[in-house]
Amino acid sequence: MVGEIGVIYWRMHQPKESPYDPIIVAVAREQGVDPFLIRALVWRESRFRPEMLGNAQERGLMQVTPAVGAEWAKANKVPNFQTDDLYNPWVNIRAGTWYLNHALEHWTSTDDPTTFALAEYNAGRTNALRWVDPANPSDHVAFLNNITLPTTRQYVETILSKRDEYQTELAHNRWYRDDAQSVTLSR
């Protein structure tokens, strides 16, 4: 009886497979970004709801702004891009991951580019640059402590925590299995 309750509890608390997992994994691998990070960002931005519209007109699963969508479409030679295309999960995850990847590349000289890139994804590069500690410009802890917007600090911490949770809980998921193994090997 106790064992059955444990199994039921475990199953109830495992992340449910999302219909967007195949897209997340495919795009993340295509662009060289951690799929657990993308899944955590999608969870935080939209709770896996592709119809989401944010206060600043961000759209879709990764809450991509029209400006970023247009920038992505131009850089990737996407013909006839329309802002509402961002409601399409494939388009949205491609554009959002592309934008996050550019932020990750910008912060490669830091000790943890992900922390810096998530702050930039949420609050923009101008704000992220203001939060860099001049005495420790590559230190993610100093950077996190300098974030003046509590919502952005919480955003970054929440996504990092969720990413770590997914790395553990999705280790045997059919879509993430290979990525979970590479995370384990690199630790």
Residue 185 lies in a domain: no
In this structure, is residue 184 part of a structural domain? no
In a domain, 132, yes or no: yes
Residue 183 located in a structural domain? no
Sign of the torsion angle spanned by Cα atoms 105, 109, 113, 119: negative
Q: Would you say residue 13 lies in a domain?
A: yes
pLDDT in tens, 109-132: 999 999 999 999 999 999 999 999
Q: Which of 24-28, 94-98, 103-107, 169-173 has the lowest mean pLDDT?
A: 169-173
Average pLDDT over residues 148-156: 98
Read off the pLDDT band of 10 (50, 70, 90). very low
Predicted pLDDT of residue 173: 84
Confirm whether 103 is domain-assigned. Answer: yes
Quote the pLDDT of residue 187.
Answer: 35
Q: Is residue 102 part of a domain?
A: yes
CATH number at residue 104: 1.10.530.10
Q: How many domains does the chain have?
A: 1
Show the domain range for 115: 2-178
* pLDDT given at position 8: 55
Q: pLDDT higher for 170 or 92?
A: 92
Q: What is the pLDDT of residue 178?
A: 77
Does 186 reside within a domain? no
Q: Distance (Å, rounded) from C-alpha 146 to C-alpha 152?
A: 11
Q: How does pLDDT run across 56-113, given as a tens digit for each residue? A: 999 999 999 999 999 999 999 999 999 999 999 999 999 999 999 999 999 999 999 9
- Between 39-48, 82-91, 116-125, 168-177, the lowest mean confidence (pLDDT) is in 168-177
User: What is the pLDDT at residue 4?
Assistant: 67
With a pLDDT cut of 90, the percent of the chain lying above it is: 81
Q: What is the 3-state secondary structure (H, E, C) of the chain?
A: CHHHHHHHHHHHHCCCCCCCHHHHHHHHHHHCCCHHHHHHHHHHHHCCCCCCECCCCCECCCCECHHHHHHHHHHCCCCCCCHHHHHCHHHHHHHHHHHHHHHHHHCCCCCCHHHHHHHHHHHCHHHHHHCCECCECCCHHHHHHHCCCHHHHHHHHHHHHHHHHHHHHCCCCCCCHHHHHHHHHHC
